[in-house]
Structure 1
Amino acid sequence: WQPLPTGDGQTINIRAQSNGLYFQSYNASFTEPWLGGKKPNSFTGTIYHNVQSNGVQASDPNRQSLLITGINFGLGQRLKWPDDYFTLYQGLEFRRFNLNNFPTGFLNYNKGISNNVNYKFTLGRNNTDVPIFPTRGSQISFAAELTPPFSLLRDDIDYKSLSSEERFKLVEYHKWKLNADWFAPITSKLVIRTHGEFGYLGSYNKDLGLPPFERFYVGGDGLANFVIDGREIIGLRGYTNNSITPGGGGALYNKYVFEMRYIIANNPSAQVFPLIFMEGGNNYDNFWDYRAFNLKRSAGAGLRIFMPMFGLMGVDVAYGFDPEPNGAAASGWQTHFIIGQQF
């Protein structure tokens, strides 16, 4: 070939992950970073199949399993208005949940097939100076995930009388999230970070109610740990994983964080910074129980290390001042390991 064929930055990713019968994950994706060839409009397509089970063979009648198969397409754009720091992401997704005696902890729904068709968008603004250890600027995002209101199109069905399997055959909900970070320098190495976030999951039809999927689970390190059942994991240091969560998952949560960070190594091969923090949050089953300042509070210290080969890693030690639900004493000291995420 003369000249040698070259691409324009397109990427194809194929990944398989497994820990035996308990968990398997397979996905493939394609990204075109310059859709249309004129602007940096990023188009991505992904297909995936995930399996979670109790580790029993498929032929065993005692097997409990959840299979999730899906496909999604997304388009990311840089915006010129209101200013050059804005971005917009839009996506369409189809996801199928296949439950076989799988405990969801919600309305005794543990067997059946649920289909989720949703549209999502995220409007963001980011004017921070650097990605790993920002010293100034802000990062704000507003996101929504919406399914069609299937039940509102049918007035001949009494949804209260349906079984859980029938009610959730077509999953419907609207989900809203707001995240905000603000960074300000005290000295060239000491930085303040304040963070707030809010999430709400709502239904179109009160007779149908909320689905058992897409709910919020608050508490702990914020890592999914091979959990794939459509839940959203929200970290809250000083408390055990998912402990600040109503039965079956929450529909509304809030969280606030104050951090002071000091960088001790800042070079291309490694960035290292310790931090101290205070944070609080809570999780509710419905909007009517929501109290903005009824928080599960904690404070502690941690360390972050970023290396290009491994990404961001860290550890936090935090003290939870309030009892977990159904607890009598303060949560106390907890240790959390961080991989590839910020609180």
Structure 2
Amino acid sequence: MPHPIRLAINGYGRIGRCFLRALHESPLRASFQVVAINEPADLDSMAYLTRFDSTHGIFPGEVRQLDQGLEIDGAPIRVSHARNPEEVDWAALDIDILVECSGQYGKRSELERFLAAGCPRLLLSHPGRSAQDIDFTLIYGINDGELTGRERLVSNASCTTNAVVPVLDQLHRAFGVEHAFLSTLHSVMNDQPLIDGYHHSDLRRTRSAMQSIVPVATGLAQGVERFLPALAGKVQAKAIRVPTLNVSAIDIMVQLSRDASGAELNALLRAAAQRQPRLQAYSDAPHASVDFNHDPHSVIVDGSQTRMNGPRLANVFVWFDNEWGFACRLLDAVQAWSALFASPAEELAAAVSRHG
């Protein structure tokens, strides 16, 4: 039986903890093992927040705190508290992939500090600063077949990009998209305070997250165009943070190239969900956002909200769990990428075999 792929997590916040839990709840848990976590916070808090989560509930397994780490269902995880990539001996951990969930590193020069410190490969839980700053940006179900295994810096894009790109791709292939405007309604994030306070250069993000609807900047349009170059120059986007803990939505307005009806759009998107049931879902029930908490799909199309204004101006509304759905795609990315390369132990065995 092959050895499990060895993983480490850098940054044990919302996405880092969801990734660990998604692996624990997945049938893939026998094939992948988190052996190390680097997180500046104290170990007591890490153990507590692993056990108890206000959004996703109590951890469905045994969590124990060790002297220098955690133990999940009997499997030890070494914990470090470094604030810089060079402060961890990544090579000594013998890992295959570091899942970078801190969100603090986006430029190639910053990411290469991990490589120089002995990390073999990085999977980012956020977009790189630009396409040139990483080797490959992945949206599972769209371009995972283009991975080669030779990459060292891979990004899993963003939760919003994973949600909207499949839908725009399907609409463009079927009807053509002349223009698109995307309005994201996103749950609060940890770059917002509970009460007004000095902390951010974006003045709106100094305001209380739980008292206001807050417009924020977004790079979603650029992210879409990175995957769908046929739509370059045709996409605009805005983002609005809303005072809910989890689950977000995107209101998609598109000008189509040919006439269509709402029934045709829904039939297209329903069929797409049937082709990729793990990644995309469709429903026309009268939903509220809480219905999709802990939902593993990248996107759920709400057919009850599809509208047409004339024969070519279409409005589609989609939901997504911005934490859990994205963490599940991180896990898919690990599986797709790791299938293309050998583990360090296997590489060493192959080298010994080659050289006698």
- Settle same-fold status: TM greater than 0.5: no
Q: Which structure has the larger Rg over C-alpha atoms?
A: 1
Q: TM-score, normalised by structure 1?
A: 0.30
Give the structure with the larger strand fraction: 1
Structure ranking higher on relative contact order (CA contacts 8 Å, 6+ apart): 2
